[in-house]
Amino acid sequence: MIGRREFLAGLGAGGALLAAAGCRRRSDFPGRLVGTAERRGHGLFAPPRKPPARRERVAVAILGSGVAGLSAAWKLGREGLEDFRVLELEDQAGGNCRFAEYPESRAPWAAHYLPVPTREARATLELLDDLGLVRGWTPSGDPIYDERHLCHAPDERLYQFGRWEEGLYPHLGATPDDLRQTRAFYAEVERWQARRDKSGRRAFAIPVDLSSPEARELDMISMSQYLTSQGWTSERLRWHIEYGCRDDYGTSLESTSAWAGLHYFASRSPDRAGPPGALFTWPEGNGWLLRTVMERIAPRLTTGALVYRIAEVGRGVEVDYLDLGRGEPVRLAADRVVCALPAFQRARLLEGSPGFREFTCCPWVVANLVLDRPPEPGHGFPLSWDNVIYDSRSLGYVVATHQDLKARTAGPTVLTWYRSFVEDPSQIRWGLLGRTWESFRDEILADLVPVHPDLPERIRRLDVMVLGHAMVRPVPGLVWGSERRRAALPQGRIHFAHSDLSGISLFEEAQYHGVRAAQEVLEAGGVSFDSSL
Partner 1 sequence: MPQLILLSVFVIATCGLVYELLAGTLASYLLGDSVLQFSTIIGTYLFAMGVGSWLSKFVVRGLLARFIQLQVLVGLLGGLSAPLLFLTFSHASAGAFRLLLYLVVFLVGMLVGLEIPLILRILKDRLEFRDLVSQVLALDYIGALLASVLFPMVLVPYLGLIRTACFFGLVNVGVALVFLHAMRSQLASRTWLGVQAGLAALALVGCFAASEHITRLSEEALYSDEIILTRDSPYQRMVLTRHRDDLRLYLNNNLQFSSQDEYRYHESLVQPALASAAHPRRVLILGGGDGLAAREVLRDPRVESITLVDLDPEMTRTFATHPLLTRLNEGSLTSPRVRVVNQDAFIWLEENPGVFDVILVDFPDPSNFSVGKLYTTTFYRRLRAHLAPDGACAIQCTSPMFARRSFWCIVQTLADVGFQVRPYHAYVPSFGEWGFCLATAREVPVPQARGERFLTPSTCAAMFEFPADLEPLPVEVNHLYNQALVRYYDAEWRAVIE
Ligand X SMILES: Cc1cc2nc3c(=O)[nH]c(=O)nc-3n(C[C@H](O)[C@H](O)[C@H](O)COP(=O)(O)OP(=O)(O)OC[C@H]3O[C@@H](n4cnc5c(N)ncnc54)[C@H](O)[C@@H]3O)c2cc1C
Determine contact, residues 261/242, Cβ cutoff 8 Å: no
Residues 408-437 that bind ligand X (CB under 6 A): 418
- Mark 66-105 with x for binding to ligand X (rule: CB under 6 A) and - for no binding: xxxx-----------------xxxx----xxx--------
Which CB, 237 or 290, lies closer to ligand X?
290
Q: Is the four-CA dihedral 497, 500, 506, 509 of positive or negative sign?
A: negative
Count Cα neighbours of 294 within 13 Å in the Cβ-side half-sphere.
20
DSSP-derived secondary structure letter, 345: G
Residues 276-315 that bind ligand X (CB under 6 A): 286, 305-307
Q: How far is the CB of 207 from ligand X (least distance, A)?
A: 12
d(CA 279, CA 237): 23
Q: How far is the CB of 504 from ligand X (least distance, A)?
A: 9
d(CA 195, CA 480): 19
The strand pairing partners of 320, in sequence order, are: 309, 331
Q: How far is the CB of 118 from partner 1 (least distance, A)?
A: 18
Q: How many CB atoms lie within 10 A of CB 471?
A: 24
306 binds, among partner 1, ligand X, none (CB under 5 to 8 A by kind): ligand X
d(CA 342, CA 365): 18
Q: Does 114 bind ligand X (CB under 6 A)?
A: yes
Which CB, 323 or 454, lies closer to partner 1?
454
Helix then strand then coil, in percent of the chain rounded to 5, is 35, 25, 40
Residues 489-508 that bind ligand X (CB under 6 A): 498-499, 505-507
Determine how β-strand 54-63 pairs with β-strand 328-339: parallel
Q: How many CB atoms lie within 10 A of CB 274?
A: 17
155 binds, among partner 1, ligand X, none (CB under 5 to 8 A by kind): partner 1
For residue 344, what are the contacts with CB-CB under 8 A and spacing of at least 6? 356, 359, 360, 361, 469, 500
Residues in contact with partner 1 by CB under 8 A are 2-15, 17-23, 147-148, 150-155, 275, 278, 382, 405-410, 453
187 binds, among partner 1, ligand X, none (CB under 5 to 8 A by kind): none
Which CB, 237 or 501, lies closer to ligand X?
501
Residues 330-349 that bind ligand X (CB under 6 A): 340-342, 345
Determine contact, residues 218/257, Cβ cutoff 8 Å: yes
222 binds, among ligand X, partner 1, none (CB under 5 to 8 A by kind): none
Q: Does 364 bind ligand X (CB under 6 A)?
A: yes
For residue 11, what are the contacts with CB-CB under 8 A and spacing of at least 6? none
Footprint of ligand X on this chain (CB under 6 A)? 37, 41, 63-69, 87-90, 95-97, 110-114, 286, 305-307, 340-342, 345, 364, 366, 418, 467, 470-471, 498-499, 505-507, 510
